[in-house]
Amino acid sequence: MAHDGKHALVTGSSRGIGRGIALKLAEQGVEVAINYRKNESAAKDTLAKVQQRGADGFIVQADVCRPDDITRMLARVKGEFGTLEIFVSNARPDVPEFYQGPMSITVEQWDCAMNSQAKAFLLSVRAAVPLMGDGGRIIAITYAPGGRTGSWQPWVGMGAAKSAMESLCRYFAAALAKRGITVNALSPGWIEDSVLNTLPDAAQDMIRKWHQGGWTPMGRLGTPADIGNAVSLLCSKEAGWITGQTIAVDGGLSLMDAGLPLEIQRG
Ligand SMILES: NC(=O)c1ccc[n+]([C@@H]2O[C@H](COP(=O)([O-])OP(=O)(O)OC[C@H]3O[C@@H](n4cnc5c(N)ncnc54)[C@H](OP(=O)(O)O)[C@@H]3O)[C@@H](O)[C@H]2O)c1
Does the Cβ of 11 fall within 6 Å of ligand 1?
yes
Q: Is 79 exposed, middle or buried (CB count within 10 Å of its CB: 0-12, 13-18, 19+)?
A: exposed
Task: Tell whether ligand 1 has an atom less than 6 A from the beta carbon of residue 36.
Answer: yes
Task: Provide mean pLDDT across the span 105-116.
Answer: 98
Query: Would the CB of 20 count as within 6 Å of ligand 1?
Result: no
- Cα gap 49→206, rounded to integer Å: 31
| Stretch 177-185: mean pLDDT | 98
Instruction: Confirm or reject: Cβ of 195 under 6 Å from ligand 1.
Output: yes
- What number of other Cβ atoms are within 10 A of residue 24's Cβ? 23
Mean pLDDT of the region 189-203: 96
Q: Is the dihedral of CA 156, 158, 159, 163 positive or negative?
A: positive
How sure is the predictor about 2, in pLDDT bands with cuts at 50, 70 and 90?
confident
Q: Is the pLDDT of residue 1 over 90?
A: no
Instruction: Using most ligand atoms within 8 A of CB, pick from 194, 196, 199 the residue to mutate for ligand 1.
Output: 194
Q: Quick one: average pLDDT of 97-118? A: 98
Q: Which residues pair with 57 in a beta bridge?
A: 32
Q: Is 263's pLDDT higher than 90?
A: yes
Give tens-digit pLDDT for 3-59. Answer: 999 999 999 999 999 999 999 999 999 999 999 999 999 999 999 999 999 999 999
> Residue 165: what pLDDT?
98
Q: Which of 113, 19, 146, 123 is nearest to 75 (CA)?
A: 123
* Closest CA relative to residue 91, chosen from 111, 72, 117: 117
Closest residue to atom 31 of ligand 1, CA basis = 63
Q: Is the CB of 173 under 6 A from ligand 1?
A: no
Backbone angles phi, psi at 242, to 5 degrees: -100, 115
Over residues 115-136, the mean pLDDT reads 98
**CB-based contact 24:225 (threshold 8 Å):** yes
Distances from the Cα of 32 to the Cαs of 18, 84, 91, 174, in angstroms?
A: 11, 10, 15, 26
209 lines ligand 1 (CB under 6 A): no
* 189 pLDDT more than 90: yes
Q: Is the pLDDT of residue 267 over 90?
A: no
Q: Is 143 in the pocket of ligand 1 (CB under 6 A)?
A: yes
What separation in Å is there between the alpha carbon of 254 and the centre of ligand 1? 21
CATH of domain 7-194+225-250: 3.40.50.720
From the list 209, 256, 247, 206, the residue with the least C-alpha distance to 229 is: 247
Ligand 1 centroid distance, CA of 90 (Å) = 6
**Which residue, 168, 164, 176, 144, is CA-closest to 240?**
176
Whose CA is closest to atom 13 on ligand 1?
17
Mean confidence (pLDDT) of the chain:
97
Distance CA(165)–CA(114), nearest Å, equals 9
Q: Is 12 in the pocket of ligand 1 (CB under 6 A)?
A: yes
Domain ranges of the chain: 7-194+225-250
This prediction's pTM: 0.98
110 lines ligand 1 (CB under 6 A): no
- Atom number, ligand 1, closest to the C-alpha of residue 15: 43
pLDDT grade, residue 205 (50/70/90)? very high
According to the model, what pLDDT value does residue 182 have? 98
pLDDT tier for residue 266 given thresholds of 50, 70 and 90: confident
Determine the distance separating the centroid of ligand 1 and the alpha carbon of 134, expressed in angstroms: 29
pLDDT at 218: 97
For ligand 1, is residue 46 a contact (CB within 6 Å)?
no
Report CA dihedral (233, 8, 226, 166) to the nearest 10 degrees.
-80
Please write the tens of the pLDDT for every residue from 47-94. Answer: 999 999 999 999 999 999 999 999 999 999 999 999 999 999 999 999
Task: Please state at what angle helix 67-81 crosses helix 120-128, rounded to 10 degrees.
Answer: 30
Residue 207 CB–ligand 1 contact under 6 Å: no
The ligand 1 atom at the shortest distance from the C-alpha of residue 40 is 40
